[in-house]
Structure 1
Amino acid sequence: MTAELTFTTTRSETAASDTDRAAILADPGFGSHFTDHMVTATWTKGEGWHTGEVRPFGPLQVSPAAAVLHYAQEVFEGMKAYRHEDGSVWTFRPDRNAARMARSCERLALPVLPEEDFIRSITALVEADEPWVPAFSTKEESLYLRPFMFASEAFLGVRPANEVTFSVIASPAGAYFPGGLKPVNLWLSTDFARAGDGGTGAAKCGGNYASSLAGQLEGIAQGCDQVVFLDSSTHTYIEELGGMNLFFVTKDGRLRTPALTGSILEGVTRASILEIAPDLGLTPEESRIEIDEWKDGVASGEITEVFACGTAAVVTPVGELRWAGGSAASTAGEGGGEVTRSIRQALLDIQYGRAADTRGWMTRLV
C-alpha cells in the first residue's frame, strides 16, 4: 500500500503585504495574479510520490531536455475555493477533479496521484494562502486552483517519463461577468477539430487547448467570442467549445447535451447540471446531436435556449451561432433565458453556501 503524501511548509519571506493583497483582491481579473505559495511533489519510478512541499511561489527549474517540452506529457485541472458567509472556505466536488485527473494521467501515461493526496495538496495550499480567498459577497469572486502534472525528466526519447512533477498554484478570480450575465456569440468551425477518435479529447491536457487556438482565432476574426467544434470524422455532430461543454433547452422540457464519445472532455459542471436538472423540472438527455438540429431547432422554436458551461464562467448563455453564410440566434433576453439563469443560480447557491448541499458536493478546506 502506498504511503500518503505529506506536505512540509516553508513560508514565503516576500509574501504580499495586506495592503498589496487587498488592492489585488479589489480587482483580481482572472489568471493574472498569484498567491504567495505553491505546492510541489515529485514522482520517480521505483519510489513513487515523495517530497511534498508548500513553498514560496516562484519559477520551477527544469532542464531544456525536460520531456514535457518535447513530447507534451502533461495534464492539469481547474477548480475553485469559495468563501462562505461564516468565513469558512470550501471547494466544489474535488473528488470529481481528482478522478478526472487520474483518467487524464492514465491516457497520457503519467503516474496517478491518489484522490486523498490530490485533496490534501489543495487543502495544504489554501491553508497557507487563506487570506487570498476573496470575502463572501454576491460578486461571484473565488480563488481559482490549478493543479498540474508534467514530465520533468531530462531525457530525449519517446517513452513515459521516469520523473514527474506535480504542482498546485492559485489565483484570485473576479466575477466572469462583472457587468452582468451576457450571451456569447459562437463561430462554427468547419476547418479545424479539437480532438479525434482515439485521441486525447477526453483528457484535460494542454495539447487539446493548443489545437483549439487556430479555430478560436478564426472565430475572433468573424466577430465571435468562442468557437464550436464538430466531430473530426463526419464534421456532423456537435462536440464542445474550446474549453466548455454545451447544453440545449427544448420547448418540451428536455435538457440535451452531446454524449461523451471519447473526444469530449467530461466537465465537472456538466455532470453537476445533469444531476440537478430534474430538481428544476427538466429531463436531462445525453445523445449525439447533429449541427443541423441546432440550426433547425432554433429556427423552429424547438430549441428555446442554448448555454455553455465550465469552471470559470459556471454557465454562459449563447446568443448566436454563426457560420459562413448564415446564423441562428438562440437566447431570449440580454441575460440569457430563464432556464439558463436558474441553473446557473442553483449551482452558485450551492458553491457559496447559500443553499443546502443535499448531495455532499462541497468539501471544507479551511
Structure 2
Amino acid sequence: MGSIPAYSSAPGESESEILFGVRQPKTDVEWSKIGFTPFQVKSGTWSQPRWVQEPYLKVHGLSPALNYGQQAFEGLRVFRSESGSVQLFRLASHAARFARSAAAVDIPAVPADLFAKSVRLAVQLNSDFVPPFEGGCSMYVRPVVFASSPTMNMYTAEEYTFAVLVTPVGLLYGATGLRALVVEGFDRTAPKGTGAFKVGGNYGPTIPIMGRARKQGYGLTLHLDAETQSFIHEFSASGFIGIKAESAETGAPPTMVIPKDEHILPSITVDSVGQIAQELGWKVEKRPIPFTDLGDFSEVYTVGTASSLVPVSAIERESTGERFAFTVDAQSPQSAYARLTDRLQGIKRGLYKEPWGWVEELDGVALRNDIERITNTGSVKSPE
C-alpha cells in the first residue's frame, strides 16, 4: 500500500465544499483509509467515531481478535450515479447482519445508527475515491469489529474496536462464466455452528481450499451440507442461485431457486436478486437443494457483495466424476442473467427506481456537525 495522498482542492473550490460536497472521483486510487471507535466494558458504551488517515490499526498482540478470532465483519458497496451523486445500497440490512454476527462471538452490538453514521462518514470524507459512473467500478466498504484489549485466557475482553475501512475496487469477476469445484473432505461450518454469521473463522480455513482449486483451473469452490454432503449450501465466499429456464411451450416464467438452511449466511445480495426476480414476475423458491437437482438448472450464479452476480459455467465433483454444465449468456437481453444484472446494477447506480427503499443518496450536509468535530473544522462556514 502506498502513501496516502492529500486531497488537493480544485480551482475555485472552497474548504466548505471540500468537506460537505460530494467530490468528483480521483484519477489515482492507490489508497485506503479507516475510521474507528472503541467500546469499553467499564463505560458500557461506544465512543464517537474518529477519522484516521491511514490503513493501519495498532492492536495488542494478546488481543482475543488475533489469538482467538473474536471478530466480525461486513462488506458493502458504494456506487456513483450518472448525475455524480454517491449511492449507498441496503445500509440498514448490513447493519442488522453485522449486529447478529457480532453477537455470535460475544461482541457488544454496534448500534444501527452508529454503524450507519460511521459508514456515511467514511464514505463522505473519501467521496473522491468513489469511482466514476462509467466503467462499473465502485467503493468497497469493510466494517469490522473485534476484541482489542489483551487477555491471556478466553474471558470477556475489556475493550472492543469498531472500524470502517474504504477502498475503491474494480470488478472481481467477469461475465464469461466460472468453473466450480465441490469441496470434499472439509466442512466450512459445523452443524449448529457459526455458518450463518460473517465471522473470520468461517473464511480463513477456506483460503487453502480455494487456492488449491485455483491451481486446478477452478474459479470457485462449492460447499455442501456438513451432515450428509448431499445438499447445496454456498460458495466459499458468496451465495448460490439456480435458475430453471422459462418454458417455451407454456410461456411460464423462469424459476429462481435459493438454498435454505440455518447454517447458510443470509446473503443480502441473494435476497436482493430474489426480490428483483419476484418483481419481474418470476417464481422464487427458497428450499433445501439436493446436489442432484443441479441438472434441473439452466443457469447458476455466484452471488455476493464483492462478486455481485456472476454466471457459473460448470460444477464438478471429483469423487464421483459428476459434471453439470450451465448456460452462460451475458449478452442476450433475453437471458435470465442479463435481465437480473441489468436491474440489480441499474438500481445500485440510480438508473431504476426501486420500491423497497434500498438506495440512499449520501448527504454530506446532513453530516456537517460530525465532519466538523472529527476534522477539527468547526469554524468552516458554508459558501454564500
Q: What SS does the corresponding residue of 1:191 show, helix, strand or coil?
A: coil
Q: What SS does the corresponding residue of 1:102 show, helix, strand or coil?
A: helix
Q: What SS does the corresponding residue of 1:192 show, helix, strand or coil?
A: coil
Aligned to 2:304: 310
| Distance change (3 Å), C-alpha of 1:332 and 1:146 | closer
**2:312, 2:328 within 8 Å by CA — same for their partners in 1?**
no
Q: How does 1:90-169 map to 2 (within 5 A)?
A: 90-137=87-134, 139-169=135-165
Aligned to 1:360: 357
**2:138, 2:169 within 8 Å by CA — same for their partners in 1?**
yes
Give the Cα–Cα distance (whole angstroms) in 2 for the partners of residues 160 and 341 of structure 1: 49
Aligned to 1:272: 272
Q: 1:146-181: CA deviations, max 9, x gaps?
A: 11011101111112322100001111012334xx52
Q: What SS does the corresponding residue of 1:277 show, helix, strand or coil?
A: helix
Aligned to 1:59: 56
Deviation at 1:214, TM superposition (A): 3.1
Give the Cα–Cα distance (whole angstroms) in 1 for the partners of residues 323 and 331 of structure 2: 20
Quick check: 1:88 aligned with 2:89?
Answer: no
Deviation at 1:227, TM superposition (A): 0.4
Give the Cα–Cα distance (whole angstroms) in 1 for the partners of residues 4 and 313 of structure 2: 48
Q: What SS does the corresponding residue of 2:92 show, helix, strand or coil?
A: helix
Give the Cα–Cα distance (whole angstroms) in 1 for the partners of residues 284 and 197 of structure 2: 24
**1:88, 1:364 within 8 Å by CA — same for their partners in 2?**
yes
Give the Cα–Cα distance (whole angstroms) in 2 for the partners of residues 361 and 38 of structure 1: 24
Structure 2: stretches of 5+ with no match in the other structure: 11-24, 247-253, 364-384
**1:183, 1:335 within 8 Å by CA — same for their partners in 2?**
no
Identity of aligned residues (%): 28
Q: 1:272-315: CA deviations, max 9, x gaps?
A: 11211122221111111111111xx2xxxx32111111011210
Give the Cα–Cα distance (whole angstroms) in 2 for the partners of residues 264 and 355 of structure 1: 30
Q: What SS does the corresponding residue of 1:284 show, helix, strand or coil?
A: strand
Quick check: 1:326 aligned with 2:330?
Answer: no
1:244 aligned residue (221, 238, 244) = 238
Aligned to 1:6: none
Deviation at 1:67, TM superposition (A): 1.4
Give the Cα–Cα distance (whole angstroms) in 2 for the partners of residues 51 and 361 of structure 1: 26
| Distance change (3 Å), C-alpha of 1:18 and 1:146 | farther
Quick check: 1:257 aligned with 2:266?
Answer: no
Q: What SS does the corresponding residue of 2:119 show, helix, strand or coil?
A: helix
Aligned to 1:7: none
**1:320, 1:328 within 8 Å by CA — same for their partners in 2?**
yes
**1:317, 1:335 within 8 Å by CA — same for their partners in 2?**
no
Letter in 1 for 2:324: A
1:173 aligned residue (149, 169, 172) = 169
Give the Cα–Cα distance (whole angstroms) in 2 for the partners of residues 75 and 69 of structure 1: 12
Deviation at 1:58, TM superposition (A): 3.7
Aligned to 2:28: 24
| Distance change (3 Å), C-alpha of 1:345 and 1:18 | farther
| Distance change (3 Å), C-alpha of 1:81 and 1:333 | closer
**1:182, 1:335 within 8 Å by CA — same for their partners in 2?**
no
Aligned to 1:3: none
Q: 1:5-32: CA deviations, max 9, x gaps?
A: xxxxxxx99526689x84434xxxxxxx
Letter in 1 for 2:37: A
> Number of aligned pairs?
336
| Distance change (3 Å), C-alpha of 1:84 and 1:197 | same
Deviation at 1:247, TM superposition (A): 0.7
**2:329, 2:337 within 8 Å by CA — same for their partners in 1?**
no
| Distance change (3 Å), C-alpha of 1:158 and 1:289 | same
Give the Cα–Cα distance (whole angstroms) in 1 for the partners of residues 93 and 139 of structure 2: 18
Q: What SS does the corresponding residue of 2:56 show, helix, strand or coil?
A: coil
Aligned to 1:193: 187
Q: 1:44-89: CA deviations, max 9, x gaps?
A: 1131101420121242111111111111000110011111122211
Q: 1:191-210: CA deviations, max 9, x gaps?
A: 11111111111111111111
**1:147, 1:169 within 8 Å by CA — same for their partners in 2?**
yes
Q: What SS does the corresponding residue of 1:210 show, helix, strand or coil?
A: coil
Q: How does 1:71-82 map to 2 (within 5 A)?
A: 71-82=68-79
Deviation at 1:124, TM superposition (A): 0.8
**1:192, 1:214 within 8 Å by CA — same for their partners in 2?**
no
Q: 1:296-343: CA deviations, max 9, x gaps?
A: x2xxxx321111110112101000111212322112446698111211
Give the Cα–Cα distance (whole angstroms) in 1 for the partners of residues 108 and 314 of structure 2: 42
Q: What SS does the corresponding residue of 2:205 show, helix, strand or coil?
A: helix
Give the Cα–Cα distance (whole angstroms) in 2 for the partners of residues 73 and 255 of structure 1: 36
Give the Cα–Cα distance (whole angstroms) in 2 for the partners of residues 125 and 265 of structure 1: 26
Quick check: 1:289 aligned with 2:289?
Answer: yes
Pair member with larger Rg: 2
Q: 1:26-45: CA deviations, max 9, x gaps?
A: xxxxxxx433x421100011
| Distance change (3 Å), C-alpha of 1:308 and 1:18 | farther
Q: What SS does the corresponding residue of 1:99 show, helix, strand or coil?
A: helix
**2:26, 2:131 within 8 Å by CA — same for their partners in 1?**
no
**2:330, 2:337 within 8 Å by CA — same for their partners in 1?**
no
How big is the alpha-carbon RMSD for the aligned residues of Structure 1 and Structure 2? Answer: 2.1
